[in-house]
Chains A and B, each alone.
Chain A
Amino acid sequence: MAGPVRIIHYLNQFFGGVGGEEKANAPVEAREGPVGPGRALQLALGDQGTVVATVIGGDNYVVEEQSTAVEALEDAITRFKPDVLVAGPAFDAGRYGLACALMCQAAQAKGVPSVAAMHPENTGVLTLRKELVVVSTGTELAEMQSILARVVPLAVKLGQGQELGPALEEGYLPRGFRRQVIRENTGAERAIDMVEARMAGRPFESEVFRRDFDLVQAPPPVPDLSRATLALISSGGLVPKGNPDRLESGRTTELAHKYSIAGLKEFTVEDWECIHTGFHAGIVNARDTNYVLPLRSMRELEKRGDIGEIYPLFYSTAGNGMAVRAARSIGEGIARELKEAKVDGVVLVAT
């Protein structure tokens, strides 16, 4: 469809000029034309689009009175007949980002495509990632022009009813959808190209994303080992011989198994085995199971009084192709139980 796209711009009370934090409960209102940063948006659009109206909502109001806020947006949609909703930029303001996300979701439910702009770790993204087209921003107001310059092409495309291409090409945050595409080169050829680029110090794009790992603060040291209870954890798939409880040997999502080691001086190859199929367990299973969890040494240290006591259960899982998500929830489950049991520290052996 030709002609400039009609845009409704969503802003919070601050950017809409209503007031600061004290006006966070301001109800949703609609005004004709652009307001505040909407003017910069209009400039960036040129004749590709017109900001026909601005919807302004208090950050608390939209999140707390969601249905009323949504109704107000729907009224504005009926009145101003937009082709697309632009929300934000909310930067890293959590309530604002969430409000933008909710407004976009509501607009989409009414058949109006939308694009929001906010920091990738904004609550708005974390909660509604799959449903939104989001332009990534930093945290500084000074970025406004460059953000709007990236929002405009998406707003225009969406407003014209066009389908968006892959996230990285079009400039929005990946939503986790996979679509099949045909490539000209085989995977092997593309991989070699990447290696060559990497070795030559040229930029290249990975096709697989590495998930970000959490940054955790290091716990303080154990104050007195001789009085401490230490627990053992194996991610080597250590189980009683025969794997009676069928611990998954890889890609596991189930919680870790627990086995008693009360009174056990060491693991033996007769009674125990490693069922982790991601490494060659032949050596451990033939020569010395304690390679994968050094119970023998721990018992000696316990006997000598260097350690207070070894927790009578050990946790076993197989860290073979374990998704970060699974590792996180398995770890949290173990930690919760060990804290309740007043365990002071853990020795975890990974393979």
Chain B
Amino acid sequence: MIPLSVGAHRVVQGISVEHVCGEPELSVERDHDLMMRITQAALTALVTKVDAPTLFEPSDEPMKEAVHAS
């Protein structure tokens, strides 16, 4: 996808252009949970060493633990 092809190193997969960090079709509760998972994927990206453009996908399950460096 575009950010990877222009060389951005840490890219998180959002939902869509019109609602990058959430999904209006979901219930408010599940939408908020989705936004949290997307945000946590961003944190994961920040603590991950990368050499080349890398895509980070939000987890499917709600994340209960803090994001740690791996």
Contacts and interface: CB of A to CB of B under 8 A. Distances in A.
Interface in B31-70: 31-32, 35-36, 38-40, 42-43, 46-52, 66-67, 69
Contacts of B31: 288
Given A222-B47, A305-B66, A297 B36 contact: yes
A71 interface: no
Given A307-B43, A349-B14, A215 B19 contact: no
Nearest to B38: A294
Given A297-B35, A297-B36, A301-B39, A230 B46 contact: yes
Interface in A285-317: 287-288, 290-294, 296-298, 300-301, 304-307
Contacts of A226: 66
B29 interface: no
Interface stretch (A11-19, A55-63, A139-147, A276-284): A276-284
Nearest to A294: B21
Contact of A301 (B19, B20, B22, B40): B40
A214 B7 contact: yes
Main secondary structure of the interface of A (DSSP, over half): loop
A155 B39 CA distance: 59
A182 B66 CA distance: 63
Interface residues of A, number: 43
B6 A213 contact: yes
Contact of A220 (B19, B35, B49): B49
B43 A351 contact: no
A284 B18 contact: yes
B20 A350 contact: yes
Contacts of B3: 350
Contacts of B7: 213-216
A3 interface: no
Contacts of A221: 46-49, 69
Contact of A296 (B32, B43, B49): B32
Interface string B3-34: 10011011000100111111010000001100
Contacts of A195: none
Nearest to A327: B6
Interface of A: 213-216, 218-226, 228, 230, 236, 279-284, 287-288, 290-294, 296-298, 300-301, 304-307, 345, 347, 349-351
29 contacts: A216-B7, A220-B49, A221-B46, A225-B46, A225-B47, A225-B67, A226-B66, A282-B18, A283-B19, A288-B22, A290-B21, A290-B22, A291-B22, A291-B35, A292-B20, A292-B21, A294-B38, A294-B39, A296-B32, A296-B35, A297-B38, A297-B39, A300-B36, A305-B66, A306-B43, A306-B66, A307-B43, A349-B14, A350-B3
